[in-house]
Amino acid sequence: MKAVKGNKEYTIDESQQKAYQDQGFDIKDDDGNVIVYGRGKTVPYGDYMAVKEELEELKANGGEIADDQEVIDILKAFANENGVDLGKTATISGIVKKIKEFKPEGGE
């Protein structure tokens, strides 16, 4: 098996696996398949949020990703029909937030 991190790659045996994994090395089998990922890895928050939003969109669409501009156009049309002032908001999350916060006149 191999311990891989960045441009470093070491051939190791099972007794060394935990030590290398604790140092952040991914452990791969002889075919190059990852057995376990190294500890201490992080994902930039922006990347996490992008994946999270895509997952929520997939769930909402039954597994189908809609074109972002199509979603924006639908949300803007809904907001317009219901008198929601979007201001300069141009993102899906921003438009959804404005719609959720909207309280019609005479409403609750």
Q: Which two tokens stand for residue 100?
A: 């959720």
Structurally, the chain folds into a number of domains equal to 2
Same domain (yes/no): 65, 93: yes
What is the rounded CA–CA span in Å between residue 3 and residue 34? 10
What pLDDT, in 10s, does the model give residues 33-86?
999 988 887 778 888 888 888 888 878 876 655 667 888 888 888 888 888 888
Cα-based torsion angle of the residue sequence 98, 101, 105, 108 in order, rounded to the nearest 10 degrees: 160
Same domain (yes/no): 95, 67: yes
Average pLDDT, the chain: 85
**Host domain of residue 68:** 45-101
**pLDDT for the residue 1:** 95
Answer yes or no: is pLDDT of 106 > 60: no
What pLDDT, in 10s, does the model give residues 3-26?
999 899 999 999 999 999 999 999
